[in-house]
């Protein structure tokens, strides 16, 4: 397995800042409360930009700790500051708060039965991606760091973010809006840490990678305009359906023949195609909607050039007109772990969970709006395990599904990791 830097040197120079027995007892003591918070949040999920009760729940806890709290950031976001009173860096820790329009099928005492409104429709709501655990872990981390204030240098900014899953149509939200509203300012943040629980990773383990760890996402739309005709007389048409078929197949050659895949993966997916309404009518127009996923800047820039080129060339050859909208309505940058920061913090990962539980990971083509923070300041984003050890990875329920499940015992690792990263970074600067 590839190691990012020599582990022996990391261990020799790794900071040893915490009196382990006392701090370990703090983690043990707070775990039941973190679980209680998680169960409440899981039973009461809210959709993106509608996390009003979640925000109140978080705010009440942060104020009980004596923290300076700001609410209503990017609609429902909550931000708190812990000031050590000593000079030092500003470390930000982030948790996302929103649920998904998914009907939970788990048989849990604390399962969700909540409903919400999405684009005028009544929908079920579930924490089907683990954001309930993220919030509970950061609430626990805030309490521990307040109790360890004498060991801090500088400030900690706790960011509880709405709408990571995407704002409702016609609205802004998430990390992008938080950044625009100045969440990384006053005080200016030096570094940010975030984590995501994983239903396919064993409890107690951490996965990390420097550089691109999650893909940029760039939705696009292609509108093909032809000439309508009777299906029995296709020579009288300019057929947008045949043109669409050729475009769909040709887009895959950008990945297979133009992207240097030995560096990083790339994906082009058409997820929606609409055109026509009868078997014997060739329509005037076909609409394609798709997504691009890339893991490095060069591949992303190439996609932006290649898709319009391919589409226009095929449309011209078929005598059709074409319009390409790229990006369509939103886009996320690459979730990019700053290499220098990653190298510096690997010893902390090892110290937190043991070398055997730190896994150098491959990137994934899913996306995360944590990337908007990383565009502005160095950031490190990691996965922590939520899969029970007695469940085989092939049987682990996937994220964004009705059966999604992560075990409560995985959260203790997250609380410890966020605490250790904060303390170690502060004492390295």
Encode pLDDT of 67-124 as tens digits.
999 999 999 999 999 999 999 999 999 999 999 999 999 999 999 999 999 999 999 9
- What mean pLDDT comes out for the span 395-422? 98
Closest CA to 118 of 173, 40, 49, 42: 49
Higher model confidence: residue 170 or residue 16?
170
Catalytic residue list contains 117: no
| Ranges of CATH 3.40.630.10 domains, the chain | 7-215+334-428
pLDDT surpasses 50 at 15? no
pLDDT-based confidence at residue 386 (cuts at 50, 70, 90): very high
Residue 349 is predicted with a pLDDT of 98
CATH number of the structural domain 7-215+334-428: 3.40.630.10
Residue 14 has pLDDT above 60, yes or no: no
The CATH 3.30.70.360 portion of the chain extends over 216-325
CA distances to 104, 203, 286, 406 from 200, in Å: 18, 9, 39, 9
**What pLDDT digit, counting tens, does each position of 38-70 carry?**
999 999 999 999 999 999 999 999 999 999 999
Nearest C-alpha neighbor of 136 from the set 420, 423, 386, 397: 386
Instruction: Give the relative orientation of helices 20-43 and 411-428 as an angle to the nearest 10 degrees.
Output: 130
pLDDT at 377 over 90: yes
Domain covering 216-325: architecture: 2-Layer Sandwich (3.30)
User: How does residue 1 score in pLDDT terms, banded at 50, 70 and 90?
Assistant: very low
Q: Which pTM was predicted?
A: 0.91
Q: What is the pLDDT of residue 22?
A: 79
Q: What pLDDT, on the 0 to 100 scale, is given for residue 23?
A: 81
Q: Is the pLDDT of residue 303 over 50?
A: yes
313-361 tens-digit pLDDT: 999 999 999 999 999 988 999 999 999 999 999 999 999 999 999 999 9
Predicted pLDDT of residue 21: 52
CA distance 387 to 396: 7
> Which tokens go with 96?
């996302």
pLDDT of residue 24: 85
Q: What is the pLDDT of residues 221-253, one digit of tens each?
A: 999 999 999 999 999 999 999 999 999 999 999
What band does 6 get if pLDDT is binned at 50, 70 and 90? very low
What count of other Cβ atoms lies within 10 Å of the Cβ of residue 2?
Answer: 6
* Confidence tier at 3 by pLDDT (50, 70, 90): very low
Cα 403–Cα 409–Cα 410 angle in degrees, nearest 5 = 75
Q: Catalytic residue among 143, 164, 407, 424, which?
A: 164
Q: Is the pLDDT of residue 34 over 60?
A: yes
Q: Is the pLDDT of residue 8 over 80?
A: no
Mean pLDDT of 161-169: 95
Among residues 46, 96, 98, 104, which one is catalytic? 98
For residues 366-381, average pLDDT: 97
Say what the alpha-carbon torsion angle 116, 42, 362, 344 is, to the nearest 10 degrees: 120
Whole-number average pLDDT of the chain? 94
Split at pLDDT 50, 70, 90, the class of 161 is very high
pLDDT band at 11 (very low <50, low <70, confident <90, very high): very low
The arithmetic mean of pLDDT across residues 118-147, rounded, is 97
Cβ density class 183-203: b for 16+ within 10 Å, e for less: bbeeeebbbbbbbbbbbbbbb
Known active-site residue 394? no
CB 226 within 8 Å of CB 238: yes
């Amino acid at each position: 397995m590839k190691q990012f830097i020599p582990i022996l040197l990391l261990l020799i120079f790794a900071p040893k800042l915490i009196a382990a027995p006392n701090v370990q007892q703090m983690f043990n003591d707070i775990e039941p409360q973190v679980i209680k918070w998680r169960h409440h949040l899981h039973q009461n999920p809210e959709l993106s930009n509608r996390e009003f009760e979640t925000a109140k729940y978080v705010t009440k806890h942060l104020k009980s700790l004596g923290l300076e709290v700001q609410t209503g950031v990017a609609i429902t976001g909550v931000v708190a500051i812990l000031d050590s009173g000593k000079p030092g860096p500003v470390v930000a820790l982030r948790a996302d708060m929103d649920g998904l329009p998914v009907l939970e099928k788990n048989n849990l005492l604390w399962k969700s039965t909540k409903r919400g409104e999405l684009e005028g429709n009544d929908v079920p709501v579930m924490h089907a991606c683990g954001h309930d655990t993220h919030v509970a872990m950061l609430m626990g981390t805030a309490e521990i760091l307040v109790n360890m204030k004498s060991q801090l240098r500088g400030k900690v900014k706790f960011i509880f973010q709405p709408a990571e899953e995407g704002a409702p149509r016609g609205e802004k939200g998430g990390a992008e809006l938080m950044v625009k509203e100045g969440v990384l300012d006053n005080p200016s943040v030096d570094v940010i840490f975030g984590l995501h629980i994983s239903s396919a990773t064993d409890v107690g383990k951490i996965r990390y990678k420097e550089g691109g760890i999650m893909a940029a996402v760039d939705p696009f739309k292609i509108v093909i305009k032809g000439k309508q005709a009777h299906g029995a007389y296709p020579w009288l048409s300019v057929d947008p359906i045949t043109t669409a078929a050729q475009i769909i197949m040709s887009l895959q050659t950008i990945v297979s023949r133009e992207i240097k895949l030995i560096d990083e993966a790339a994906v082009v997916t058409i997820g929606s195609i609409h055109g026509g309404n009868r078997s014997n009518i060739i329509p005037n127009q076909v609409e394609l909607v798709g997504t691009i996923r890339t893991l490095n800047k060069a591949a992303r820039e190439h996609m932006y050039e290649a898709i319009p080129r391919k589409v226009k060339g095929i449309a011209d050859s078929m005598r059709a007109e074409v319009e390409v909208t790229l990006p369509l309505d939103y886009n996320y940058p690459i979730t990019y772990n700053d290499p220098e920061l990653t190298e510096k913090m690997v010893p902390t990962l090892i110290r937190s969970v043991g070398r055997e539980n730190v896994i150098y990971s491959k990137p994934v083509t899913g996306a995360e709006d944590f990337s908007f923070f990383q565009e502005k300041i160095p950031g490190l984003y990691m996965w922590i395990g939520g899969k029970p050890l007695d469940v085989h990875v092939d049987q682990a329920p996937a994220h964004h599904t009705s059966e999604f499940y992560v075990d409560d015992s995985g959260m203790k690792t997250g609380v410890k990791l966020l605490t250790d990263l904060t303390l170690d970074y502060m004492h390295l600067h």
